[in-house]
Structure 1
Amino acid sequence: MMPLARLSGLLLILLLAAGLGFAGEVVDAVRVLKAERRLELLRGTDVVRSYPVVLGGDPIGHKRREGDGRTPEGRYILDWRNAESAYHRSIHVSYPDARDVAAARSRGEDPGGMIMIHGQRNGFGWAGGLLQSFDWTDGCIAVTNAEMDEIWNLVRDGTPIEILP
């Protein structure tokens, strides 16, 4: 049986090697570059992690209404998370904000909502490589399950997110 001190040291090494970070290593902001299909985790002005992403099926332009297949653009907050999501973990983007709601109402439309950063649909994690080769979400930002695990550990509720065209 391994002594507790040695087991703790081994666990620490494994966490560092996995790049999962600790509570003191959370990021300050998240940035999504839609045209580049990239999500960046920022600490100050430094990009500390970068992940390829897929978006909604019609990703060009700002989300205007429910069902348009677009990922919103602008500044929002990652305001809550769901460990029991239909997709491997999910973190909610605070879309729609008051401007989005007002703009949609002026057009007589529903702005939509439930925009998340998430992994693959539960049971399909094995297909992450294939599913990350085309835009397939309804407007969410999708990464592989392993990448979502990292993001989950490094991003806290209340973190700002900027989604750029």
Structure 2
Amino acid sequence: MKRRTLILGGTALVALGACGNSKFKSYNGPEVTYVVVNKGARKMMLLHHDRVLKDYRIKLGFAPAGHKEIEGDGRTPEGIYLIDRRNPNSRFHLSLGISYPNARDRQRAHEMGKSPGGDIFIHGQQNPLKKDKGDWTWGCISVTNKQMEDIYAMVGDGTPIQINP
């Protein structure tokens, strides 16, 4: 009986310990009402109205200058979009979708006879043990996995995001 109790107790402790390492955090601070990305400065800020709650160093698409025009150009879009979806099972830890392309983006790409692309996200790292050097994404905005856990908890769907040159 003692042995069984020890085994069950040990199993319960291991299970509870695993729960403490969850990538899903909770946030009960001021609402994030706006996200601002300044590509040139490689900064992203989470704002509550006009007050900066948090700011982060970011990595961008591998060709960061200019607005994303077509699929595969390696650029991060510029303009005002919305956070429109979440991916808790992302290859890049966690991710928040950005509503690119909008109607104007689709029209511009159509005029060039190309696809505007899509699947632009704010996301974590693919390999947290490897130090990401320079801009490396295909047009997304990347932060560390730890930072992404906080951002994922703080930023809700429908939050506007302004991406500046």
1:92-119 per-position Cα deviation (integer Å, ceiling 9, x unaligned): 0000000000010011111010000000
User: What is the TM-score when the length of structure 2 is the normalising length?
Assistant: 0.83
Task: Report what 2:12 is aligned to.
Answer: none
Identity across aligned pairs (percent)? Answer: 48
User: What is the TM-score when the length of structure 1 is the normalising length?
Assistant: 0.83
Alpha-carbon contact 1:26-1:153 (below 8 Å) kept: no
Give, in whole Å, the separation in 2 of the partners of 1:142 and 1:74.
18
Equivalent residue in structure 2 for 1:126, among 126, 129, 145: 129
Give, in whole Å, the separation in 2 of the partners of 1:92 and 1:42.
18
Letter in 2 for 1:82: N
Equivalent residue in structure 2 for 1:25, among 30, 50, 58: 30
Query: How many residues end up aligned between the 2 structures?
Result: 141
Letter in 2 for 1:157: D
Give, in whole Å, the separation in 2 of the partners of 1:134 and 1:107.
29
Give, in whole Å, the separation in 2 of the partners of 1:117 and 1:55.
10
Matched, 1:47 2:41: no
Based on CA coordinates, which of the two structures has the bigger radius of gyration?
2
Deviating runs (4+, > 4 A) in structure 1?
none
Cα deviation for residue 20 of structure 1 reads 6.0
Relative to its length, the structure with more helix (as a share) is 1
Task: Report matched runs for 1:51-70 at 5 Å.
Answer: 51-70=56-75
Specify every segment of 5 or more residues in structure 2 that has no aligned partner in the other structure, as ranges: 1-24
1:141-165 per-position Cα deviation (integer Å, ceiling 9, x unaligned): 0000000011011100000000000
1:92 is paired with a residue whose SS is strand
Cα deviation for residue 40 of structure 1 reads 0.3
Give, in whole Å, the separation in 1 of the partners of 2:93 and 2:84.
17
Matched, 1:98 2:88: no
Q: Alpha carbons of 1:20 and 1:47: their partners in 2 closer, same or farther (altered >3 Å)?
A: farther
Task: Report what 1:158 is aligned to.
Answer: 158
Cα deviation for residue 125 of structure 1 reads 1.3
Letter in 2 for 1:21: Y
Give, in whole Å, the separation in 1 of the partners of 2:129 and 2:46.
25
1:25 is paired with a residue whose SS is coil
Give, in whole Å, the separation in 1 of the partners of 2:123 and 2:113.
30
